[in-house]
Amino acid sequence: MIRYTSLNEYCLSAFGKKLYKLSVDGGFTCPNRDGRCGTRGCIFCGADGSGAFAEHGTDIKKQLEKAVLRIQAKKPQGYIAYFQAYTNTYAPVDILRERFSAALEFPGVEVLDIATRPDCLDTDVLDLLEELNKIKPVWVELGLQTAKQSSVQYIRRGYGNEVYTQAVNNLRKRGIYCITHLILGLPDESQEDMKNSLQFALDAGTDAVKLQLLHVLRGTDLATDYENGKFQTLTLEEYISLLKTLLSMIPSSVSVHRITGDGDKKQLIAPLWSADKKRVLNTIRKALAEE
């Protein structure tokens, strides 16, 4: 059996209970879209800025109330307020403070979880996160995606690997929990390339990883390359085999917050097998248990 520390297991040991994610849209944009780094975004990123499940609007409290209603039946005992869409530290610090504080003050929120880019963590932002981390745990999610140089260029990530390493260092020095996103199945990436990217994140000192299957979404430049036959997406069997290899590399002290993806089904072009998330997760869990 291949063992790994899941998000639920981590929450049970750190908080004594399962926590539920409430995804919110902080109303930010992204330097890879507004012209600072680029205007077309990362090649795989959909129009929602990788925040397909986030509530929308600038009133954080209202968004959280709506998100709570959606999961009420599960009788949750605590929440992770997840700023998911776009780059959630890409705004003046006073605006960040207002939006993050609104989330932290929301009843039942136990963790503030912020998805961002490593090149959007200046000292004033880090100071704010360190301050908030003293009130309740702050998690920062960094979209590394890959450490392979040619893929970094291809996906138009817009920052170098050393910027990621420095950001992880800065976060860890301030006691902030760091989660790294990696995409599996990028064009022209071998299993060895993906192992190298994972090892790069582990060596940098990430506290957790999210392993995300490459999704091809409608309207992206990645979709154009896919439709022109420039690459193929992974089969479920290939993905499971890859997962087995990668999960075996991850020590139990590093949690794995995701083992597949969360793409918007309406926008998904490939791989279509990934749309049935429940079946995919069951198949993966069974395969890992049989190993």
Residues that bind ligand SF4 (CB under 6 A): 30, 32-33, 41-42, 45, 49-50, 86-87, 117, 143
Q: How far is the CB of 11 from ligand SF4 (least distance, A)?
A: 25
The 3-state DSSP class for residue 109 equals: strand
Of 10 and 263, nearer to ligand SF4 (C-beta) is 263
Q: How far is the CB of 220 from ligand SF4 (least distance, A)?
A: 10
Of 20 and 165, nearer to ligand SF4 (C-beta) is 165
What span, in angstroms and rounded, lies between the C-alpha atoms of 126 and 105? 20
Of 11 and 43, nearer to ligand SF4 (C-beta) is 43
Q: How far is the CB of 74 from ligand SF4 (least distance, A)?
A: 28
Of 109 and 148, nearer to ligand SF4 (C-beta) is 148
Q: How far is the CB of 120 from ligand SF4 (least distance, A)?
A: 9
Cα–Cα distances (Å) from 262 to 100, 143, 246, 268, 272, in that order, read: 23, 15, 19, 10, 13
On whether the CB atoms of residues 208 and 113 are closer than 8 A, the answer is no
Of 49 and 263, nearer to ligand SF4 (C-beta) is 49
> Residue 271: is the preceding peptide bond cis (ω within 30°)?
yes
Q: How far is the CB of 136 from ligand SF4 (least distance, A)?
A: 25
Instruction: Tell the burial category of 252 from Cβ atoms under 10 Å away from its Cβ (0-12, 13-18, 19+).
Output: exposed
Please report which residue ranges of 106-160 form alpha helices under DSSP H: 123-133, 149-155
